[in-house]
């Protein structure tokens, strides 16, 4: 289960960083596209939310 959650977080962070790099906002007020670092953080949070929404808890 933790592997799936980490995969979602890493993929979200990578997607956010790419959006932050290629889609930079001119004013800097856009949380997702202001810069790659902020985009990676925002993407990781979104990936974690998706991971916890779609994964089931294990019975360990």
Please report, for the chain, the start and end positions of each structural domain, with discontinuous segments joined by +: 28-54
Packing angle, helices 36-54 and 2-22, rounded to 10: 150
Q: What is this structure's pTM?
A: 0.79
Q: What is the pLDDT along the chain (60 residues), one digit of tens a residue?
A: 788 889 999 999 999 888 888 876 666 667 666 788 888 998 999 999 999 988 877 665
35, 52, 54 from 17: Cα distances, Å: 8, 21, 23
- For the stretch 32-48, pLDDT in tens is 667 888 889 989 999 99
């Amino acid at each position: 289960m933790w592997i799936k959650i980490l995969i979602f977080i890493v993929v979200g962070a990578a997607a956010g960083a790419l959006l932050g790099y290629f889609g930079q906002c001119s004013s800097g007020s856009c949380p997702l596209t202001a810069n790659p670092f902020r985009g990676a953080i925002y993407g990781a949070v979104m990936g974690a939310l998706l991971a916890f929404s779609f994964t089931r808890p294990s019975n360990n």
